[in-house]
Amino acid sequence: MTAQDREVDGVEDVLALFARQPDEGSGEAPDADRAASAPKDRDSNPNPNRDAAPPKSASGTRRHRATAWAEARAIAARSGRSAATAPAPAQAPARTRRVPLEQALGHVLAEPLVALTDLPSFDTSAMDGWAVSGPGPWSVQPDQVDEADRPDDRPDDPADTRSTPITRSTPTPGILAGHAAATPLPDGTAVRIATGARIPPEATAVVRSEHARTDSTGHLHAERAVVQGQDIRPRAQECRSGDRLLPAGAVVTPAVLGLAAAAGYDELLTARRPTVDVLVLGDELLVRGLPHDGLIRDALGPMIAPWLRALGADVIDTRRVADDAHALFRAVTESEADLILTTGGTAAGPVDHVHPVLARAGAELLVDGVAVRPGHPMLLARLASGRHLVGLPGNPLAAVSGLLTLAEPLLRTLGGRVPQPAYHAPVRDEVHGHPYDTRLVPFVHRDDRLVPLRYNGPAMLRGIAVADGLAVVPPGGARQGDELEVLDLPWAAWADASASTDDGCFT
């Protein structure tokens, strides 16, 4: 019985099982060839291939040298930044726009978020209790509020007795939130106050309800020591008017919406989201039903557009393009999107038309192949119009690699987003490496460590479907405990939730 046939219960058993298995379908050298580059020999017997040049082809000519993975990401980011700051054509849409708060979620701030008011804008009570003035015990003020601070509920017709007129002496629960304190609080007195209510002038502290009692003479006594200013939120405790709360480039989250509202905003100036046209290439792709007669289901069409939206883009269209150079040329040159993203056709096969089409369109190749596995045939080009094209490989996980290597940094800078600082985490298990290319390996977080997932071949989605992110494995691989750079996925929490309830067959 093979390891794949064993029944396992629980996530940890599955991960332990996978850690013992070689990576399937990765397109890498067989196990016998990996031994030379195994991380365990890195110190005593350095891997001679780690810094070696790419091998020669069968004809003896040197292969095209692919761009290093980190350099490719930097090129994509710089190109997006240049496009975002270049003068916009006369007919181009504005780069920024003001949107109401309720429409700003997921957009990016085009200017710093500056407080329009002090927060809080006046001294407020942090607790339900008693506002007191001076040392206690305190005489209790009558429970009443100024008539001017009450809604006018009196009937227009004096003869209408359905409502009772409210007078200045109508009993109330003290000072409520939303009602201004009418008069200063005399020394030696106390008045009930609600959380969030404005502190009356001359009040020196708030005594919590559970820490106070009244006696038969109508005096309030504190059962704990009272410190001046206690349980009072002073004006401008959080920020002063004019303080910068968030930088330009911050993504508007639900919490940012709340902060902006509290700071006095009704609308926000946001950067225009970059637009994308997705072109899914290939005559062999089915959009419905089971694979048959050499045809396969299109896995990239359903996946790419939502992924791009998670990266901050607006997808104009996702459409299939036949394996026809003329059709692809029209689709590329007629697109008005900021980014055209193609899937497949980036290699040198008989129907791989991306390179010839780009040459015909007068495009500049900024990245033509990346030293990363999977996904090395990816490319980045700048069209004559100033727009960009990212060519992804046709294999699903290789396409994901291209998304995170080239599309993500390009879209981030095009959209004015603040880059997230890179972070590293230790890997739990040894990870085989490529002799001279970076590897991107799906992983899950377990006990503050990265646990590589086994289904990481270029054509596989089973691993990335439950992954928290991709671990960046350097040439030569990584040993247990090595710190690896992490590329998080925006829906990692969803993957964790599904993994925790799965029966163990998720990778």
Segment 231-242 mean pLDDT: 94
Pair of tokens at residue 453: 């997932």
How much is the pLDDT for 244?
A: 96
- Residues 6 or more apart whose CB falls under 8 angstroms from that of 180 comprise 146, 149, 198
pLDDT tens for 47-79 read 333 334 444 433 333 345 799 999 999 999 999
- pLDDT surpassing 50 at residue 434: yes
Q: Distance between CA 413 and CA 203 in Å, rounded?
A: 51
Phi, psi of 129, rounded to the nearest 5 degrees: 170, -135
Bridging pattern class, strands 244-246 and 113-114: antiparallel
Read off the amino acid at residue 170. Answer: T
Q: Which of 27-31, 289-293, 427-431 has the highest mean pLDDT?
A: 427-431
Identify which of 437, 422, 440, 433 has the alpha carbon closest to the alpha carbon of residue 478.
433
How much is the pLDDT for 436?
A: 93
- Residues 6 or more apart whose CB falls under 8 angstroms from that of 162 comprise 155
How is residue 422 annotated by DSSP?
P
**Which parts of 204-345 are beta strand (E)?**
205-208, 212-214, 219-222, 232-233, 244-246, 267-271, 275-281, 285-286, 296-297, 314-321, 339-343
Distances (CA, A) of 84 to 91, 156, 310, 413, 417: 15, 60, 19, 7, 11
Angle at alpha carbon of residue 339, lines to 337 and 344, rounded to 5°: 120
How is residue 506 annotated by DSSP?
-
Identify which of 302, 286, 402 has the alpha carbon closest to the alpha carbon of residue 344.
402
Pair of tokens at residue 45: 């017997």
pLDDT tens for 445-495 read 999 999 999 888 887 788 888 899 999 999 999 999 999 999 988 775 433
Work out the mean pLDDT of the chain and round it to a whole number: 79
Q: Distance between CA 303 and CA 382 in Å, rounded?
A: 24
Alpha carbon distance, N-terminus to C-terminus of the chain: 19
- Residues 6 or more apart whose CB falls under 8 angstroms from that of 154 comprise 163, 165, 166
- Structure confidence at residue 292 as a pLDDT band (50, 70, 90): confident
Segment 168-177 mean pLDDT: 61
Half-sphere exposure (Cβ direction) of 12: Cα atoms closer than 13 Å: 3
DSSP calls for 148-205: GGS-----SSTT--SSPPP-TT---SSBPTTS---SPPPTTEEEEE-TTPBPPTT--E
Question: Per the omega criterion (within 30 degrees of 0), is the bond before 30 cis?
Answer: no
How much is the pLDDT for 471?
A: 95
pLDDT tens for 11-49 read 344 343 333 333 333 333 333 333 333 333 333 333 333
Q: Distance between CA 287 and CA 159 in Å, rounded?
A: 74
